[in-house]
């Protein structure tokens, strides 16, 4: 066990020495990897925050039933009876035209304008909560109530939230595709970097193979190099994203104060941060193994 730790310790030391021998090239490779990784990870974080915001500001879906302007009290009451008997309806409340006008006067700040109107332009309306909040059930209930007598218009108030969810699901697919493409790019970067290192040490590798070095012994420092380069790129990506979140929240502070909103961008969770460090390291390890394995096979064939 002591020998195993000693061998891996020497491999890590050799890897760090290689980074030190080519500092500029190593830093540039790590920056390229970090910037590339920050794109899908940052988009993922933006989408996750938008989903949280949509759930924060969106209430349960409601259906608003607007009566005709000339509907009398009897016709409005008939709609209440139909709503009470409808098995799809969980609850409802009547917002009378006088109540709606009073709320408009208080909330708009245009009391003088409202008082100057010759007549009340608002209809009686029902706000309906459905037992089933799925889009299909809400749309079926809306279409049914639109056919009732003296109902002028039926509006599904939470349609914007469903459209936002659909857009966010599409964005998640785009981020997943972008992540796959950048993972392939990371493999290619690591493969090419390790290929150049193997070529520069080809003579050394051939000599140590002649004196009995195994492929695992030769491969180990290159694998550490690819893994550490990937992890360092993941760390750069984490720093870029964390800095971006801090800047956004710093600017959102004044906006939140103006609009009395406590919304702030969440940073990457601990699990996401760990994945952002480990997955690039794993991809770097795979790229290095593919590259070294290919070149060792070429050396062995000669």
End-to-end CA distance of the chain: 35
Residues 6+ apart with CB under 8 A from 208: 217, 218
Give the DSSP H or E segment for 9.
helix 2-21
DSSP code per residue over 31-64 = HHHHHHHHHHHHHHHHHHHHHHHHHHH--S-EEE
Structure tokens at 47: 């989408």
Q: Tell me, what's the pLDDT at 259?
A: 45
Tokens 């608003």: give the residue.
Answer: 64
Q: Taking Cα atoms as reference points, which of 114, 155, 119 lies closest to residue 138?
A: 155
What is the average per-residue pLDDT within 264-276? 85
Residue 58, pLDDT above cutoff 60: no
Out of 169-183, 238-252, 273-287, the most confident range is: 273-287
Lowest mean pLDDT segment, chosen from 61-70, 163-172, 236-245 = 163-172
Q: How far apart are CA 240 and CA 27, in angstroms?
A: 15
200-258 pLDDT, tens digit per residue, is 777 777 777 777 777 777 788 888 888 899 899 999 999 999 988 888 877 766 555 54
Q: How far apart are CA 126 and CA 81, in angstroms?
A: 12
> What are the two backbone dihedrals, phi and then psi, of residue 22, each rounded to the nearest 5 degrees?
-125, 65
Q: How far apart are CA 63 and CA 135, in angstroms?
A: 12
CATH 3.30.70.3040 placement within the chain = 62-157
Q: Cα 176 vs. chain centroid, distance in angstroms?
A: 10
Model-wide pTM > 0.85: no
72-114 pLDDT, tens digit per residue, is 889 999 999 999 999 999 999 998 888 877 776 776 566 665 6
Half-sphere exposure of 214 (CA within 13 A, CB side): 4
Q: How far apart are CA 162 and CA 164, in angstroms?
A: 5
Which residues in 122-256 belong to E strands, given as ranges?
A: 125-130, 151-156
Assign residue 295 a region: left if phi > 0, alpha if psi is -120 to 50, beta otherwise? alpha
Domain topology for 62-157: Alpha-Beta Plaits (3.30.70)
């Amino acid at each position: 066990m002591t020998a195993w730790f000693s061998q891996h310790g020497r491999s890590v030391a050799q890897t760090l020495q290689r980074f030190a021998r080519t500092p500029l090239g190593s830093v540039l490779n790590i920056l390229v990897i970090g910037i590339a990784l920050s794109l899908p990870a940052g988009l993922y974080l933006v989408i996750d925050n938008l989903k949280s915001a949509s759930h924060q500001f969106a209430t349960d879906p409601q259906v608003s039933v607007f009566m005709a302007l000339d509907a009398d009290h009897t016709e409005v009451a008939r709609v209440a009876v139909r709503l009470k008997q409808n098995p799809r309806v969980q609850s409802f409340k009547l917002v009378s035209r006088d109540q709606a006008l009073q709320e408009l006067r208080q909330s708009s700040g245009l009391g003088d304008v409202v008082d100057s109107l010759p007549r009340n332009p608002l209809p009686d309306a029902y706000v309906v909560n459905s037992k089933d909040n799925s889009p299909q059930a809400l749309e079926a209930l809306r279409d049914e109530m639109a056919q009732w007598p003296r109902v002028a218009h039926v509006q599904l108030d939470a349609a914007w939230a469903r459209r936002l969810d659909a857009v966010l699901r599409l964005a998640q697919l785009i981020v997943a595709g972008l992540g796959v493409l950048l993972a392939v790019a990371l493999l290619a970067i690591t493969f090419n970097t390790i290929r150049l290192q193997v070529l520069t040490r080809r003579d050394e590798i051939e000599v140590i193979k002649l004196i009995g070095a195994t492929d695992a012994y030769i491969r180990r420092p290159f694998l550490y190099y690819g893994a550490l380069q990937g992890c360092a790129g993941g760390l750069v990506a984490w720093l870029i994203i964390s800095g971006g979140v801090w800047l956004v929240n710093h600017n959102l502070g004044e906006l939140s104060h103006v609009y009395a909103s406590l919304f702030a961008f969440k940073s990457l969770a601990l699990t996401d941060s760990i994945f952002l460090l480990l997955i690039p390291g794993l991809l770097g390890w795979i790229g290095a193994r593919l590259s070294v394995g290919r070149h060792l096979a070429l050396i062995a064939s000669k």
